[in-house]
Chains A and B, each alone.
Chain A
Amino acid sequence: MNRDKNLPLTETVYYILLSLLEPAHGYMIMQKVEEVSDGQVRLAAGTLYGAIENLLKLKYIQPVSTRDKRRKVYQITSKGREILQMDLQRMEHMVNVTKQALSKT
């Protein structure tokens, strides 16, 4: 089976998609990503903005309308959920085979 050409997701993209399961604006994404990655992934504003633009182009996320006129709020799309799920399965497989291999030796 041919794998989606956007897989594997980068750590940055993975965490952004994960944090957009609920709607959030840019700065909230930065905070969420830092929190769920235990402070391992700290996104800078310019890098995040570029990633958001990319994900919008790929239709993995979409803007949602809110009352805040100065901050765009985004949310994951069904296509985005799908790719997140696929990357999760990919990593689960890696984790499983690695655990098995390590326990045998």
Chain B
Amino acid sequence: MKRFKLFRSYQAEEKWLSEQAETGWRLVKKGLFYTFRKHSPQRLVYSVDYRTFKTRADYNSYLSLFSDAGWTHTAGSIRSGEQYFTAPPQQGEELSIFSDKESSHSRYTKKAWHSLLKALLIFVFMILSSMSNSLYDISILVQPSRAFLTPGIWEKTGGAFWQAFFFELPFASLRIGLYVLLIGYVLLFAFYAAWALICEKLDKGIDNKQLH
């Protein structure tokens, strides 16, 4: 089963994944979609980490630490960022891969910076590749037909039109796709940066309350 879903927080995502496991669907892969496989219904704790790795050795060492500590890695790859871990629930204990708030909240900060970096990379690529011509005219967003650069393509008819259309379709899709990705990453950055700030505020609020 494949599902697409966005969450307001990692906590909400973890909770939802646990509910899926309880109804017999276990997460096996996470890309743009969540991929589930049918399994016997089971109570499982999910914990999501956000981390990328420079080398395979770093990644292996990371995975070994979690498996030594009793966590099963169920989804995520060396460059995916999100890493999904499960463990059977323990009685009278709330299981998590984080033992303090700061490290749990640092997921949002890291994700925000990574999203911004990706947005910038795409932006720089778009600027560089359109130095001499306006490949990425912003009006593409309002009028996707402008992504096709063949002169007079929309005046053509019949076979000539379709030939020109299909010839340019991959390039046009790329131009539109890059814009979508750019906007997507900017939105992700804004969302996670907001979360990081909220977390910081919450931490301070809680600390102040404890002091008084």
Contacts and interface: CB of A to CB of B under 8 A. Distances in A.
Nearest to A42: B99
Contacts of A47: 97-100, 103-104
Size category, A interface = 10 to 19
B61 A46 contact: no
A49 B99 contact: no
B106 to A, nearest CB: 6
B68 A26 contact: yes
Interface string B43-82: 0000101010000011011101110110100000000000
Contact of A72 (B57, B66, B71, B104): B57
A50 B57 CA distance: 16
A8 to B, nearest CB: 15
Nearest to B99: A44
A77 interface: no
A26 B62 CA distance: 8
A97 B17 CA distance: 52
A71 B99 contact: no
Interface string A2-16: 000000000010000
Contacts, number: 61
Contacts of B68: 26-27, 71
Most chain A CB atoms below 10 A, which of B49, B57, B66: B66
Q: Is the interface of A mostly helix, strand, loop or mixed?
A: helix
A18 interface: no
Most chain A CB atoms below 10 A, which of B49, B51, B64, B99: B99
A57 to B, nearest CB: 13
Given A46-B47, A46-B97, A49-B51, A26 B103 contact: no
Interface of B: 47, 49, 51, 57-58, 60-62, 64-66, 68-69, 71, 85, 96-100, 103-104, 106
12 contacts: A26-B61, A26-B64, A27-B65, A44-B69, A45-B66, A46-B96, A47-B97, A49-B62, A50-B103, A69-B60, A71-B65, A72-B58
Given A27-B68, A30-B69, 5 more contacts: A26-B61, A45-B65, A47-B99, A69-B60, A71-B65
3 interchain residue pairs of minimum CB distance: A46-B97, A27-B68, A26-B65
